[in-house]
Amino acid sequence: MPGELAGASVLVIGAGGFIGGRLTERLVVECGARVRALVRAPMSAASVARFPVDIRIGDIANPPAVMAAARGCSHIFNCAKGTGPNAAKRRTVDVDAVRSVIEAARRASAMVVHVSTMAVYDRPFDGDFDETTRPAPRGDPYTDGKLDGERLAVELGARWAVPVVVVQPGVVYGPGAGVYGVDIIEELTNGGVVLVDGGRGICNAVYIDDLVSGLLLAAQRRDVAGERFLLSGPEYPTWRDFFESFERLLGTCRTVSLSRAEAHALWRRSRRRAWLAPVLWQALREDRALRRQLLATREGRLLRRLARWTLPKSLQLRLRQDRDLEVSHGRESPPVPLRPWVIDYVARRARARTDKARTLLGYAPAFTLEHGMQVTGQWARWVGLIPEPE
């Protein structure tokens, strides 16, 4: 898909990440673009350094670094995402830094493809949603930051006459995926994954190469400035379909179906474990040998008897609920608890319509979940994330 990107000078911010990395690769190999990659540290450039790319070390939150990187570029892709535990710092990347990206584009007369997320919409529980659906903050720093970031990008683009196109991907998976790849494999290997309401919610997954094709198409359409485009795959797999594909790759069965109420209860209990005593309790429960050893001592027996007589009924009940949940799912370690907003989010069965991207951009996603997971599995075996079949 070379088009107008052939020979163009293109800045990719966040080129060391999952999406920015694959985009950089295809810009160089497929489009023949001259790519400048803005990364925070040399290590982040390890993957894209395989290609003839002009690597610039800099922080998106540092305006002079962004201005310098954008100089002479006709296109800017913003694929950066705030990371780390500090919500204020993440917001600096997701929202505040957008101003310098658009300002840099204005100075360079470049157009901007800003990567947001499908999660900004207040999607209905059932049915379809599209770009006309009301966006809504949900009190979660990530999605709220993404919503404010895309609004700022469009607003400044209009004010400064900078063509800005916003793309809103669903769940992006494929070789190199973090949240919807490596993290899932680790969770399914080490513990379990909660499927809310049997995993009947629609995950709106999109394979990385379909998404990148959408980004490349968007970059060639200055005339659709100010528009938002939902980008999803060619079909509508459920969360169960999605996680079961990973289970098949791993040869495991570690998903746990919980009702929404149970999933919320698991979250509340996991919060309470922040205290020392519950953490000790957790360690005792997870290490069966240690537990047996300690409980077999004189003090251990005495403690058990004391606990039975003295613990408040509510605590006894909570401990029993924890144990019941684990027993009912036949595991020692409980599944990873989901945050309350995630529970609500994954329960929804709304399907993302991509008609606008198909009509205006010519977007045509091609990877079914089966095909995408086949390639993802090959990659996961190649990098040693999952064992080769016997």
Ligand X SMILES: NC(=O)c1ccc[n+]([C@@H]2O[C@H](COP(=O)([O-])OP(=O)(O)OC[C@H]3O[C@@H](n4cnc5c(N)ncnc54)[C@H](OP(=O)(O)O)[C@@H]3O)[C@@H](O)[C@H]2O)c1
- The nearest distance, CB 174 to ligand X, in angstroms, is 9
- The nearest distance, CB 41 to ligand X, in angstroms, is 6
3 state DSSP class of 189:
helix
DSSP letter assigned to residue 329: T
- The nearest distance, CB 291 to ligand X, in angstroms, is 38
The residue (of 62 and 328) whose beta carbon lies closer to ligand X is: 62
- The nearest distance, CB 170 to ligand X, in angstroms, is 7
Q: Name the burial class of residue 382, with classes exposed (0-12), middle (13-18) and buried (19+) by CB atoms within 10 angstroms of its CB.
A: exposed
Cβ atoms 114, 149 nearer than 8 A: yes
The residue (of 40 and 264) whose beta carbon lies closer to ligand X is: 40
The residue (of 162 and 352) whose beta carbon lies closer to ligand X is: 352
Q: Residues interacting with ligand X, by CB under 6 A?
A: 14, 16-20, 39-41, 44, 59-61, 79-83, 93, 115, 117, 146, 169, 171-172, 178-180
In the numeric block, the tokens 């911010």 are attached to: 13
- The nearest distance, CB 217 to ligand X, in angstroms, is 16
The residue (of 84 and 330) whose beta carbon lies closer to ligand X is: 84
DSSP letter assigned to residue 238: B
The residue (of 30 and 59) whose beta carbon lies closer to ligand X is: 59
The residue (of 123 and 146) whose beta carbon lies closer to ligand X is: 146
Cα–Cα distance between 351 and 70 in angstroms, integer? Answer: 36
Q: Give alpha helix (H) positions in 194-312.
A: 208-219, 239-250, 260-272, 276-286, 288-295, 298-310
The residue (of 155 and 326) whose beta carbon lies closer to ligand X is: 155
The residue (of 131 and 322) whose beta carbon lies closer to ligand X is: 131
Q: What angle do CA 354, 357, 358 make, to 5 degrees?
A: 80
The residue (of 81 and 264) whose beta carbon lies closer to ligand X is: 81
Return the percent helix, strand and coil in the chain, to nearest 5: 55, 15, 30
| Chain residue whose CB lies nearest ligand X | 17
What's the N-to-C CA distance of the chain in angstroms? 39
- The nearest distance, CB 78 to ligand X, in angstroms, is 7
3 state DSSP class of 10:
strand
Distance of CA 365 to the CA centre of its chain: 19
- The nearest distance, CB 63 to ligand X, in angstroms, is 12
In the numeric block, the tokens 């700022």 are attached to: 152
Cβ atoms 239, 184 nearer than 8 A: no
Cα–Cα distance between 78 and 152 in angstroms, integer? Answer: 13
Q: Give alpha helix (H) positions in 348-388.
A: 355-356, 369-382
3 state DSSP class of 73:
coil
Cα–Cα distance between 116 and 94 in angstroms, integer? Answer: 9
- The nearest distance, CB 233 to ligand X, in angstroms, is 12
The residue (of 114 and 240) whose beta carbon lies closer to ligand X is: 114
Q: Which candidate, 58, 62, 136, 144, places its Cα nearest to that of 99?
A: 62
- The nearest distance, CB 2 to ligand X, in angstroms, is 23
Spell 109-126 as b/e; 16+ CB within 10 A means b: ebbbbbbbbbbbbebeee
Q: Which amino acid is present at 336?
A: V
- The nearest distance, CB 153 to ligand X, in angstroms, is 11
